[in-house]
Structure 1
């Protein structure tokens, strides 16, 4: 048995309310961060995206070099990593500790030889250094508060500008970069500053709702964009490839396109009306796509010729994926997240519309007819039809730990001390337990409930009541995941110690105890359609594919999900998906043999 990585469906950018989020682009690719992940997302095909996961702490800024060969990414500890973007392994070229706190932005020079990184520090707020050696190439001075943005003129003679919470912009001559002057045009936080590709000008935006234009060589102020101004904090600005237009994104949920020569707004796009539609970042790609980032993590793509609405909206999980299910209808699969959002995937992600969950989605299940059910930590059971919630909803008696779908659209919900049985949004039975349930699975009329007492109970459902039929023992920890094989005869039981016991559910006996290579809690189990192999995902970040006929044979997919695997599921024969803490879905081609 063997495997090969096939596709990665990336997560959305991480955002913070009231704070500018730096996203960047290289050709048709957008670069951003989420948690410890740096994502290079292809706007044309999300399946060929890259997720770099070697940062120990949360990544905070990333940009690809003008050469396109390397990416520089920084994290909350002030560490900058420079790594290869072309090879599959993303080999690390260099690593430097540049400041003592969070790096908020960084920029390459036009020769891909130097970088300036800025942010929050104790002794300094920025550092200029050589990529190959890490040696200093100047001093980033003149600010007394956190620096939010930096931009370097890409042509010689080099110039650099930085923008800070101290309401000022500092202009530097280079190389080496030396303080030239302090520019006091803004009255509040300066959120972003960007040089035009031509190097003739640079622009700044801030929390005072203002936009200014400057001479790129001297730093002289050329004027303010006062026509049709934003009514909220302006969080980001970007230049068109021809340096004639500027796009700005603001907290008033609008994106504006400005003509540099006349300083007038040509187009205003209003993205939405909710808090999540506040615009916190943007970038203008070389392919002439305008990309603006919503607080929700959605990437809104605009065409400068169409002044109505985004031509595309790219959605993705912004928080950890906590549950998933392969579907039969309009979507390929659904994922539930720690934020309460459920997203449907077909050719790209789309948020399930309607009144959804307000907290973590703890379980997703599908009926034989294709109806999907979800439960969340908001104590609600919801029904999903295609890509939207139905009006139907059921309030659970306690916080649900998971669900299983049985025959006749019967849903079994495991709670703190009971199992509620729900049909057509009405409770039809309530089984009070003497133990604390921790996992649940159903197959036909058979229900399995795993407990914190390390045992698995089997129940029979006759359409009216649940009757206990057997107790299965052998697990060494809390039973954290259960899964029946398609023909209902085998039951895999994973626990918090990383061990999986395979039972014969019909004969009530143990088949094997040799599936014990995980080193942490088993989070998910999934069977192949023929019932000959079972996949497992664990908090140890690994995925294993086990063979029933040869229990000691397995496929080990090491480090499958940085931060831990929360769910595994089969898309089709030989195609396994895994997802978890980083919000990405990875698809693996698995060559199975008995």
Structure 2
């Protein structure tokens, strides 16, 4: 069996020009955020402890802990809210379709009995409040003409609900059952976020007009503003109150976070400005924030989460990040430093250190998307969708200068000869290209549709897989390939080929969910009947001693086989990655790392059978 030992979680999904909402549970010091169809829950004091809920059918937009911390309500772009148990098997309590379009925000009532949700809808149905156990409506929410971006529940009695959105309005409702009380038009642009203070005495709204306005929590009347003189120079996307209701934290497109003292008269006075760490680019715009216990959490457009200390302003902030998009490949560097590199198709290459987690992103001179990725010690090789292959030296987190090689058509696969890493083979749809260092040795056209390829560790042999399910074995001599054999065992398009580290075997996999292990010398099948996936196999990985072979599939699972035992005596890791597994690598004989569509990286401990 296999045991999950570490999770390097994805970062929140962000969108330029929009704020994002991260939820907090002060008791466990945990936060919740969304990426794709996943809700990620992680502890601020232990970032490697992350749990992921992936039961939504559509992209998730917001998640909130119940007041007692036992339940989570999460919503998606279809307008569906799911209420599920946070612990154990995460049982589904209820599911309701509350809006006809995307849900942008939701809040629990302080007694945990009601939920209010807002977002996009047809007609004037932009807000709905309902009982959490039955879905029964508990109010009418007239007054908005466009998408409602944020809503908030007053945390003390008498209950109130405030909403705000793209019509520049802030609406105030009394209840339950909730009815429209008044509307405020103090803002001149989208009102992005509204939040009540924990003591319920006030609420604040922030807007793309760079203003923050405070209101009386019981009547909804305006009582003050954040100081304009010290204010943000860009849109304010999110706001969060301190636990004692005396301060607020705001974040803005101007790449700063600000802490404000809220005076008795309802006005906000700047206490300090928190600079966003980074290069100052667009990705450093701040789009989300949370004040939880002593933690001031900010989220940038690029997904970097930075944690400041509220009580110790001089303490250096802690930052961690990761992938936002699907991870397409994974490499473990056998350098003794436990470094894992993962790449996503949006061009991000992230370094992870086992036992520590996030260790920075590689700063590349070219920012092109990545389709294929390989690495040798102190060097990475990438290809994108522009027919070019980059071979770049790496020093720490900095990538050196290099000139790309044009291989004539879009690369389908890329592998490096382990013992002679200067030599690499690139497969294209019509053939392969041999690379020696940064130069093309030979482009070779083949008379069939190529899907993937691999080169032996010593660089003397190459295997090319075809759309017809055949494996073509070539000897490599200088700039020529000589066909030695054709192996016909697969019944589907070849999707992956991988030599064992000792070069005595190779494994192949296909779109018809089958994997095969071959003896390299005799070219006979060494392990067959590897037919336990239910969908296409995307990737293969060998253990360092060539004793284990792992397969990762579109069916979200990883299966580990022992080469010397029947395929039936296997280890299956079900649900390893929501959406499919696209990267696999062994760290050592007993540890496996995987990555996939959910933009997460996981380390698994293989336990004796």
Relative to the length of structure 1, the TM-score reads 0.94
2:257 is aligned with 1:239: no
Distance 2:334 2:397 in 1: 12
Per-residue CA distance 1:526-584 (angstroms, 9 max, x = gap): 11223222111111222211232213322222222111111122222222222211101
2:480 is aligned with 1:475: no
Distance 1:136 1:578 in 2: 44
Q: 1:128, CA displacement in angstroms? A: 0.9
Distance 1:208 1:572 in 2: 54
- Structure-1 residue corresponding to 2:94: 94
Distance 2:159 2:573 in 1: 47
Q: 1:436, CA displacement in angstroms? A: 2.9
- Structure-2 residue corresponding to 1:373: 381
2:528 is aligned with 1:513: yes
* Gap regions ≥5 residues in structure 1: none
Distance 1:400 1:542 in 2: 26
Secondary structure of the structure 1 residue equivalent to 2:46: coil
Secondary structure of the structure 2 residue equivalent to 1:276: helix
- Structure-2 residue corresponding to 1:353: 362
Q: State which drifts further: 352-361 or 156-165.
A: 352-361
1:408 paired residue among 405, 415, 420: 420
Secondary structure of the structure 1 residue equivalent to 2:401: strand
Kept in 2: contact 1:322–1:360 (CA 8 A): no
Kept in 2: contact 1:11–1:582 (CA 8 A): yes
Q: 1:464, CA displacement in angstroms? A: 5.1
Q: State which drifts further: 2-11 or 34-43.
A: 2-11
1:522 paired residue among 537, 541, 545: 537
Q: 1:249, CA displacement in angstroms? A: 0.9
Query: 1:116-127 to 2 correspondence within 5 Å?
Result: 116-123=116-123, 124-127=125-128
2:458 paired residue among 426, 435, 444: 444
Q: State which drifts further: 449-458 or 142-151.
A: 449-458
- Structure-2 residue corresponding to 1:541: 556
* Gap regions ≥5 residues in structure 2: none
Query: 1:232-381 to 2 correspondence within 5 Å?
Result: 232-261=234-263, 263-271=268-276, 272-286=279-293, 288-304=294-310, 311-329=317-335, 330=337, 332-346=339-353, 347-356=356-365, 358-367=367-376, 369=377, 371-378=379-386, 379-381=388-390
- Structure-2 residue corresponding to 1:76: 77
Q: 1:162, CA displacement in angstroms? A: 0.7
Distance 2:34 2:369 in 1: 22
Q: 1:520, CA displacement in angstroms? A: 1.9
Q: How many aligned positions are there?
A: 589
1:501 paired residue among 516, 519, 539: 516
- Structure-1 residue corresponding to 2:401: 391
Relative to the length of structure 2, the TM-score reads 0.92
Q: 1:300, CA displacement in angstroms? A: 2.1
Q: 1:149, CA displacement in angstroms? A: 0.4
Q: 1:246, CA displacement in angstroms? A: 1.1
Per-residue CA distance 1:272-328 (angstroms, 9 max, x = gap): 521111111111112x21111111111122234666897122111000000001113
Q: State which drifts further: 204-213 or 395-404.
A: 395-404
- Structure-1 residue corresponding to 2:155: 154
Q: 1:312 to 1:196 in 2, by over 3 A?
A: same
- Structure-2 residue corresponding to 1:199: 200
- Structure-2 residue corresponding to 1:560: 576
2:440 is aligned with 1:434: no
**Cα RMSD (Å):** 2.0
Distance 2:163 2:73 in 1: 18
Secondary structure of the structure 2 residue equivalent to 1:208: coil
Kept in 1: contact 2:405–2:440 (CA 8 A): no
